[in-house]
Amino acid sequence: MTEPRPVLVLNGPNLGRLGSREPDIYGATSYKGLVESCRSLGAELGFDVEVRETNDEGEMIRWLHEAADRSIPVVINPGAFTHYSYGMRDAAAQRTAPMIEVHISNPYAREEFRHTSVVAAVATGTVAGFGIGSYRLALRALAEEVTG
């Protein structure tokens, strides 16, 4: 039996508040529910999923460096960092394994400032607008990328 492949699911600002943060936009699933969903599906796909959340841009950059240094695939919801963090974008550009950008809502159906992602150009792909299901779709896409 092969060991599960490590995968990081990285979440940016305010995502730890899922379930109570604007449920009409982000849904009723709690952050704990998101973590459980990602770990469960990840195990089915042969991944050892570690889910992390931070409100600190520097910490997100360090996690992306860790993923690059260890060739760990990443699912990333940068949250607000999506729209302005060039430091995070540059860290993501150093990836050595697939990276799927994910968003719970559809940024293009929201405020104009959300229409720009500095991460999209360096990601393998982007999944957005399917609620928490965006993470499940991203994990499935990641499985396709790593097993090819």
Catalytic machinery residues: 26, 103
Question: Annotation-wise, does 132 bind a ligand?
Answer: no
- State how far the alpha carbon of 26 is from the alpha carbons of 12, 65, 100, 107, 142, in Å: 14, 28, 19, 12, 23
The single-letter code of the amino acid at 124 is: T
Question: Annotation-wise, does 56 bind a ligand?
Answer: no
Q: Among 98, 87, 103, which Cα is nearest to 135's?
A: 103
Question: Annotation-wise, does 77 bind a ligand?
Answer: yes
Question: Annotation-wise, does 14 bind a ligand?
Answer: no
Task: Name the DSSP class of 82.
Answer: G
Question: Annotation-wise, does 61 bind a ligand?
Answer: no
> Which residues participate in the annotated binding site?
77, 83, 90, 104-105, 114
> Which residues participate in the annotated binding site for substrate?
77, 83, 90, 104-105, 114
